[in-house]
Amino acid sequence: MKKISLLGATGSIGIQTLDVIREHPEEFSLAALSAGRNIPLCRKIISEFHPEFVSVKNKEDAEALRAEFPGTVFSYGPDGLQEAAVYYKTDILVNAVLGSVGLSPTLEAIKLGRPVAIANKETLVTAGHLVMEAAKQHGTQIIPVDSEHSAIFQALQGEREKNIERLVVTASGGSFRDRCRNELANVTVKEALNHPNWSMGAKITIDSATMMNKGLEVIEAHWLFSMPYEKISVLLHKESIIHSMVEFHDSSIIAQLGTPDMRVPIQYALSYPDRMPLPSGKRLRLEEIGKLHFAEMDFDRFRCLRFAYEAGKTGGTMPSVMNAANEVAVAAFLEGRIKFLEIEDLIEKALIAHKSSANPDLETIQAADSETRKFVKSLV
């Protein structure tokens, strides 16, 4: 029985992680969780899974829940998130919280040598050097949950790093993949949230439409697989059937395929190195799909992807600045305060205004993050 600590239990990845736990009651149980503001859902999860420890965003919510569930320990805020991540009875942390708030709890779990199944891509983008260094130092396993990185991780099983020619990260193209740039000026939030293949949280769905999601994933791949940016390519693949690939020196390409169902990479991260059935999952039938399509990435159409390669190559605090600017800009777009194309304009302004500090520690990263948030908010 693997006891799980789940950060972001009320989100898209969190809910699908609970689906996996529900399908395998003999193998997995939920020992600790964190939620944000969705208290009705949090309440339902507690009633079904009986976790021992729960953290929520606000103190008042924690107090109300404590009165309702006297057998559970409650906490709140950033400290609570951290306590949930390192809860002493858990065997693995699933980090499915949204945004750079996921960084400190991940680092704390790594220091305990606790395996981390990582969905929260902002952690690796902002502090990949600290995360991977700490994981090496403490012998902690970092297992990717993001579908592309899970695909690469699976394709690399039994392979040697020295034989890799390049990683190929596939991209669906997002909600506006069939529109040119001048058709994007007045797109609505509702249109942007209509992803062609995946059902995901709002923020990542917008990131997918701007191609920032792929930018974050390129940086994530750089750290997870210690691969130089020159050896990471992005390929448009509109069906999201091939979740990513690895090309080797001998020209062989190994790909991982499947239906667009995040429960598969989540379950693989939990059962790794084993595999388990997923009874309610739909099997891929290529004969029903017929054709798969591929196209080269256009960096002028998708400017955010260019920003991400540049920020990643610059390194230091630049990826944190890009990420923080993106988080603020996407939130402003979702609230209807800016237009879609202003997301990339704001990110560009933040990147231009910032002078990167090399090899930053956690405090420097957090300072760059909060200064950027202030700067971008002042422009919105």
Ligand X SMILES: CC(=O)[C@@H](O)[C@H](O)COP(=O)(O)O
Examine residue 122 and tell whether it contacts Mn ion (CB under 5 A): no
Choose the contact partner of 122 out of Mn ion, ligand NDP, ligand X, none; CB within 5 to 8 A by kind: ligand NDP
Q: Is 195 annotated as a binding residue?
A: yes
For 85-115, the DSSP string reads HT-TT-SEEEE---SGGGHHHHHHHHHTT--
Choose the contact partner of 214 out of ligand NDP, ligand X, Mn ion, none; CB within 5 to 8 A by kind: ligand X
Closest approach of Cβ 32 to ligand X, in Å?
Answer: 24
Choose the contact partner of 201 out of Mn ion, ligand NDP, ligand X, none; CB within 5 to 8 A by kind: ligand NDP
Q: Is 244 annotated as a binding residue?
A: no
Q: Is 13 annotated as a binding residue?
A: yes
Q: Is 126 annotated as a binding residue?
A: no
Q: Is 174 annotated as a binding residue?
A: no
Examine residue 83 and tell whether it contacts Mn ion (CB under 5 A): no
Q: Which is nearer to ligand X, 105 or 260 (CB)?
A: 260
In the chain, which ranges are E strands?
Answer: 2-7, 28-34, 53-56, 73-76, 92-95, 116-118, 142-144, 164-171, 232-236, 242-248, 253-257, 295-296
Residues forming contacts to ligand X in the complex (CB under 6 A) are: 146-148, 171-172, 174, 198, 200, 208, 213-214, 262
Q: Is 288 annotated as a binding residue?
A: no
Cα torsion 94, 98, 99, 100: sign: negative
- 136 near 120, Cβ under 8 Å? no
Strands 253-257 vs 242-248: parallel, antiparallel or unpaired: antiparallel
Count H helices, E strands: the chain?
A: 16, 12
Tokens of 360: 């930053």
**Residue closest to ligand NDP (Cβ):** 11
Examine residue 146 and tell whether it contacts Mn ion (CB under 5 A): yes
Determine the residue type at 168: V
Choose the contact partner of 247 out of ligand NDP, Mn ion, ligand X, none; CB within 5 to 8 A by kind: none
Q: Which is nearer to ligand NDP, 201 or 380 (CB)?
A: 201
Choose the contact partner of 258 out of Mn ion, ligand X, ligand NDP, none; CB within 5 to 8 A by kind: none
Cα 325 to Cα 48, 210, 331, 363, distances in angstroms: 38, 13, 10, 18
Site of tokens 């809910």: 15
Give the 3-state secondary structure of residue 124. Answer: helix
Q: Would you list which residues are annotated within the binding site?
A: 10-13, 36-38, 120-122, 146-148, 172, 195, 201, 208, 213-214, 217
